[in-house]
Amino acid sequence: EGHPHIVDLIKSKEIQFIINIPTDVVTRDDAFEIRMAALQYNVPYMTTTTAAIEGLKGLREMQNQEISIYPVESKDVTV
Q: Using alpha carbons only, what angle is made at residue 40 by residues 3 and 27, rounded to the nearest 5 degrees?
A: 50
- Whether 19 and 35 have beta carbons less than 8 Å apart is answered as no
pLDDT in tens, 4-40: 888 999 999 999 889 888 787 777 778 888 999 999 9
pLDDT in tens, 38-75: 999 999 999 888 998 888 888 888 887 776 767 766 55
E-only strand ranges, the chain = 18-19, 45-46
Q: How far apart are CA 77 and CA 14, in angstroms?
A: 44
Query: What pLDDT score does 21 carry?
Result: 84
Query: Has this prediction a pTM greater than 0.85?
Result: no
- According to DSSP, residue 3 is labeled S
Query: What pLDDT score does 73 carry?
Result: 64
Query: What pLDDT score does 79 carry?
Result: 47
CB-count burial class (<10 Å; 0-12, 13-18, 19+) for 20: middle
